[in-house]
Amino acid sequence: MFSEGARKHYSFPGCTMYDCIVLGAGIQGSFTAYHLAKCGKKTLLLEQFPLPHTRGSSHGQTRIIRKAYPEDFYTNMMQESYQLWAELEKDSGTKLYRNTGLVVWGPAGNHELEKICKNLENYQIPWEHLSQEAMKQKYPGISLKPGEVACWDTSGGVLYADKALKAVQECFLRMGGTIHDNEKVTHIEPGPMITVTTTTTSYSAEKLVITAGPWAQKVLTPLGLQLPLKTLRINVCYWKEKNPGRSDILASSPCFLAAVSGEEHEIYGLPSQEYPGLIKICLHGGNEAEVEERDLVVEDPKVKDISILCRFISNYLPDLHPAPAVVEQCMYTVTPDQNAILDHHPLHKNITIGAGFSGHGFKLSPLIGKILSELCTGAPPSYDLKPFQITRFK
Ligand SMILES: Cc1cc2nc3c(=O)[nH]c(=O)nc-3n(C[C@H](O)[C@H](O)[C@H](O)COP(=O)(O)OP(=O)(O)OC[C@H]3O[C@@H](n4cnc5c(N)ncnc54)[C@H](O)[C@@H]3O)c2cc1C
Ligand SMILES: O=C(O)[C@@H]1CCCCN1
């Protein structure tokens, strides 16, 4: 180990030293690097692709933000996450959040829906119960079925995802951080001083954080760690009005989550943003796919996501064409319980891992970055991390 003074001057030939290296400049790695730089750590953020890119999980213009969660720890964490988003808006001078409200609907008595309402109530977050009739008044374009009810989370809305990623990376650079993009990490040599080799050169650091998104398992296998992560290819679908400008679905749509009876997966939607005249509605799920091979669709998909969505549109949003107008792709990395992994490598304690955000990690990312930076520097964690520990998997 080097003393603080020695460290400033020491470097292996061709091997620059940092306090911390963060592998992966998606939203989680970028926020981790930002928090590390905020703590005064000399931090390098490494990214395999030229930035910005669309091959991982953090691209695109929009993501849902909400406090409505069935798990109370998420509702609790979202309170601070909203504050951190507001701080980033202020620091970057960029608007990143649009408050549209969020509707969650499902059959009356649905267990998850009841837990959501209970959490909003317990945390004193303004919310409303909406009957089928009340929904018809508020959102005539959404047609609930008899026996279905909704919960209205007033804090819900849209995060401008690509602007957020750019903003956090710019703030990190302004604090003295370093980003090297177009530079893939090809080897990690663990030890008290970790050596990270890339396609360009080598670096060393006392601490490493791995936030590799759908590449996480590929990075962790050579480090002797197998995690129960699955990578899913998600079809991001945009839908058009049958009579453009005639219904008010595009103008007044909230964000929504729907638990449809008889369907295994949730469906979600966001107001029109990316493509004028189109609204984004997707399945919270997809088919397993290797991240590098996601464009090579060879077999019949197990999850018939597009047909499920077409059926849903016909039943619930009859003013829209029941066939997608645009389909794009994104990747989920899911764990068996859909909670992320935020933990140290079991053998190499100076390596911290953030993985498996299971399709809902964007809204939490300012806080995830803070938690990963705490794990990395050895500061006491701000939250109980039991739901995120590796040891929960047998
Ligand atoms: C369709 C879709 C909809 C979603 N909707 C929502 C939503 O509404 N609300 C919400 O909160 N969340 C949502 N999410 C989830 C959220 O977007 C993800 O949880 C989040 O983006 C994950 O970020 P990440 O940094 O872990 O992964 P990524 O963004 O994939 O970042 C990982 C990075 O690591 C880099 N990398 C990997 N290996 C290497 C290597 N060897 N060397 C260098 N770099 C490497 C990759 O290139 C990549 O840039 C959604 C996700 C998808 C796909
Ligand atoms: O994180 C969210 O709020 C949504 C829920 C549905 C799937 C996509 N992500």
* Ligand 1: residue whose CA is nearest its atom 16: 362
Q: What is the pLDDT of residue 249?
A: 75
CA of 340, closest atom in ligand 1? 19
Instruction: Give the domain-ending residue among 289, 312, 331.
Output: 331
- Residue 338 bridge partners (DSSP): none
DSSP secondary structure letter of residue 246: T
Q: Is the pLDDT of residue 25 over 70?
A: yes
Ligand 2 centre distance from Cα of residue 271 (Å): 14
Instruction: Give the domain-ending residue among 331, 354, 381.
Output: 331
Ligand 2 centre distance from Cα of residue 37 (Å): 29
- In a shared domain, residues 131 and 272: yes
Position of tokens 């909230």?
A: 254
Is residue 369 included in any domain, yes or no?
Answer: yes
Instruction: Give the domain-ending residue among 290, 305, 331.
Output: 331
ipTM greater than 0.95: yes
For 8-22, 35-49, 341-355, 369-383, which range has the lowest pLDDT when averaged over its residues?
A: 8-22
Is residue 123 included in any domain, yes or no?
Answer: yes
CB 32 within 8 A of CB 373: yes
pLDDT digits (tens, 9 = 90+) for 159-203: 999 999 999 999 999 999 999 999 999 999 999 999 999 999 999
* Strand (E) or helix (H) holding 282: strand 278-283
Q: What is the pLDDT of residue 5?
A: 35
Is residue 97 included in any domain, yes or no?
Answer: no
- Residue 236 bridge partners (DSSP): 328
- In a shared domain, residues 240 and 382: no
Is residue 199 included in any domain, yes or no?
Answer: yes
- In a shared domain, residues 195 and 235: no
CA of 266, closest atom in ligand 2? 6
Q: Is 188 in the pocket of ligand 2 (CB under 6 A)?
A: no
- In a shared domain, residues 211 and 119: no
pLDDT digits (tens, 9 = 90+) for 35-51: 999 999 999 999 999 99
- In a shared domain, residues 302 and 243: yes
- In a shared domain, residues 210 and 222: yes
pTM metric for this prediction: 0.96
- In a shared domain, residues 323 and 191: no
Q: At what angle do helices 72-92 and 161-174 cross, to 10 degrees?
A: 60
* Ligand 1: residue whose CA is nearest its atom 27: 213
Q: What is the CATH number of the domain that holds 384?
A: 3.50.50.60
pLDDT digits (tens, 9 = 90+) for 231-278: 999 999 999 999 887 767 777 789 999 998 777 889 999 999 999 989
Ligand 1 centre distance from Cα of residue 388 (Å): 17
Q: What is the CATH number of the domain that holds 253?
A: 3.30.9.10
- In a shared domain, residues 110 and 238: yes
DSSP secondary structure letter of residue 241: B
The domain of 122 spans 102-154+230-331
Binned at pLDDT 50, 70 and 90, residue 2 comes out as very low
- Mean pLDDT, the chain, rounded, equals 94
CB 178 within 8 A of CB 166: no
Q: State how far the Cα of 280 lies from the Cα of 62, in Å rounded to an integer.
A: 9
- In a shared domain, residues 310 and 382: no
- In a shared domain, residues 345 and 371: yes
Checking DSSP bridges between strand 178-180 and strand 97-98, what pairing results, if any?
unpaired
* Domain count within the chain: 2
Q: Is 286 in the pocket of ligand 2 (CB under 6 A)?
A: no
- In a shared domain, residues 371 and 280: no
Q: State how far the Cα of 162 lies from the Cα of 145, in Å rounded to an integer.
A: 36
- Residue 159 bridge partners (DSSP): 63, 97
Is residue 85 included in any domain, yes or no?
Answer: no
Cα–chain center distance at 196: 26
- In a shared domain, residues 197 and 261: no
Which of 81, 188, 211, 362 maximizes ligand 1 atoms within 8 Å of its Cβ, making it the mutation to test the pocket? Answer: 362
CB 173 within 8 A of CB 38: no
- State both tokens at 288: 């397993």
Q: What is the pLDDT of residue 87?
A: 98
Is residue 71 included in any domain, yes or no?
Answer: no
Give the chain's end-to-end CA distance (angstroms, integer).
Answer: 35
Ligand 2 centre distance from Cα of residue 186 (Å): 32
CB atoms within 10 A of CB 343: 20
pLDDT digits (tens, 9 = 90+) for 96-128: 999 999 999 999 999 999 999 999 999 999 999
Is residue 66 included in any domain, yes or no?
Answer: no
Ligand 1 centre distance from Cα of residue 32 (Å): 13
Is residue 70 included in any domain, yes or no?
Answer: no
